[in-house]
A and B are shown apart, each in its own frame.
Chain A
Amino acid sequence: MDFLLVLGIVTVSCLALGLISKYLRQASIPAYIIAGILFRYSSERLEFGLISSYDFAQVVQGLGKIGIILLMFYIGHEFNFRGIKEPGRFFAGCTDFGVNFIAGFSLGLLIGLSLLEAFILASAVYISSSAIVISSLIENKRLIYPEAETVVWLMVFEDIILAILLVVLTSITSDSLAMIMIPVSLAKTLLLIVFILVLIRGLSNFISPLFERDDEIPILLIFALIFGFSALAHLLTVSEVIVAFFLGSALSGVKPFKKLLGDTISFKNLFLTIFFFSFGMMFSFEFAGLPLTEFVLALLALITLSILGKFVSGALIGKKQHGSLETGLRVGAYTTPRGEFSVVLLAVVLGMEMGISELLFSLVVAYVIFLSLIGSFIAKHGDRIGKAMTVGINKLMTLKR
């Protein structure tokens, strides 16, 4: 399989669907996933033989993996450990986690997933899409409202929970399923994290001048650090995305690195797009052997629950933080979109090569596509939805009396 042909197909089809999504003013994450799904579907139908080619999937997935690593690196770099400690933000973050994680976990068990799978599903249900939520706040002109701040800090809180969930999940899934190995691999992960943080701090005087150079050394240094530590993580069977996250946060303390952040973001954007494509490529239309109606029912239940979950947690946060139910419902509406993190989480678990069922996989792919689109819509009309719901709830209250 020709490498350039692979690159051509992936980039051109992502560009086409990405452009369409921008024209329709929709989130672009589902567009890239759908590009992957369409590619697999058409190559199976028309018998290109590309998808069966081992190389093709391998190449696309390899490039996609760089995307996940760079995304986590970026999130780690932007992470603000200080701001999160404010009691209000801490409470909001915990409420968001509690309500939505429990909702996802219960539904997972209800539709017959194993404990571990329900845990994965719950994580995917809990985590909103920072990318969609934040661009929606800016595009829909919400930054002046006090709840915008609450929402942004919720996203930051979700980032740290994501890192913790990934540490836990990969510790469970990496070495073996034997319970005794979990503390061992957890300890290994934590040790590696501490090693990175200490090493970067220790070397910062040596690294800083290298970042100030005008030649190819700075960008090479970044990727050497990222891939070097990823390789180390791989050898130690620790998840490379966690390593990337903490490497990013360690480098945020190295001032001259700021200059290179823009370049890193460009690489992240490119490879993340390829990642979404590769993710879509793994989706098959067989719905895990379930009859279509049952699959659709499970999906509908999941979507409804996820939307309701965010409104409930939003309402609780709004009541406590802003003293207003309506504001809270708006927080709920703004945080409804799910996206990149739900997908990344699943991909990381898949990468650890533990058997997760087709049902969970297909469910999450379809879930993310729908909830990124529906979520953006709800976020866009959050003001009206919040108002209508408040009016409805108030009416219900007076009826009861």
Chain B
Amino acid sequence: MRISELPEIGTKYEIESPKGDKVAVIFLATGEIELYVLEASAEKPSVTRLTSEEARRLGSVLTGALLTIEREDVEVSFSEISDLRINIHICPVTKYVVGKSIEDLAIRKKTGVTIIAISRKGRSIISPPPETVLEEGDLIVAIGEHEQIKACEREILQPG
């Protein structure tokens, strides 16, 4: 990744693939974002101009959050409250927690992480009660700070 300043225009972020294709993202001084794609063999680049909102959505697709759910995070933001971002983390249950209830594990008490849903065999349990017992193949959906999530993974899902 190459970052360069373009006075009076904005800032350019540039990346080149091994094949020689180039992608550049330019943050214009106006606040809009231009996305350039130049294939190695192409004469001219394709360009589109995005608002910051569109760029953020595109960005979350590119980070893979919406496509691969295992061990990935989704960031939810609200158009009304611009500085509120909630990170939602999805992690599969491990053999260490199968058969135990949320209450037994004391996840909230130990790490501060809150489980907001469990995805079980294609169905979902929203806001599961503390006595819910985790089963093999479950996906846990939780919210919490990055550090808290790390602690949860370290101490409860993968102890030792």
Do residues A141 and B5 form an inter-chain contact, with CB atoms below 8 A?
no
Q: Within the assembled complex, what's the spacing in Å between the Cα atoms of A130 and B7?
A: 11
Do residues B36 and A134 form an inter-chain contact, with CB atoms below 8 A?
no
A156 and B7 in contact (CB under 8 A), knowing A143-B26, A144-B22? yes
B80 within 8 A of partner (CB): no
Residue numbers in A under 8 Å from B38 (CB-CB)? 144
Residue on B with the closest CB to A159? B7
Most buried by A among B7, B22, B34, B38: B7
Residue numbers in A under 8 Å from B5 (CB-CB)? 80, 83
Total interface residues on B, using CB and 8 Å? 19
Distance between A248 CB and nearest chain B CB, rounded to angstroms: 13
Residue numbers in A under 8 Å from B8 (CB-CB)? 78, 130, 134, 152, 155-156
Do residues A383 and B9 form an inter-chain contact, with CB atoms below 8 A?
no
Do residues A137 and B9 form an inter-chain contact, with CB atoms below 8 A?
yes
A153 within 8 A of partner (CB): yes
Residue numbers in A under 8 Å from B14 (CB-CB)? 144
B45 within 8 A of partner (CB): yes
A149 within 8 A of partner (CB): yes
Picked from B7, B34, B36, B44, the residue with its CB within 8 Å of the CB of A83 is B7
Do residues A143 and B6 form an inter-chain contact, with CB atoms below 8 A?
yes
Do residues B24 and A143 form an inter-chain contact, with CB atoms below 8 A?
yes
28 pairs of residues in contact across A and B, judged by CB atoms under 8 Å: A78-B8, A80-B5, A83-B7, A134-B9, A137-B9, A138-B9, A138-B28, A141-B36, A141-B44, A141-B45, A143-B6, A143-B9, A143-B26, A144-B22, A144-B24, A144-B36, A144-B38, A144-B45, A148-B6, A149-B4, A149-B6, A152-B6, A152-B8, A153-B7, A156-B7, A156-B8, A383-B43, A383-B44
Extra A-B contacts (8), CB below 8 Å, given A138-B28, A144-B45: A78-B8, A80-B7, A138-B34, A144-B36, A144-B38, A152-B6, A152-B8, A155-B8
Q: Which 4 residue pairs of A and B lie closest in terms of their CB atoms, listed nearest first?
A: A144-B36, A144-B24, A141-B47, A152-B6
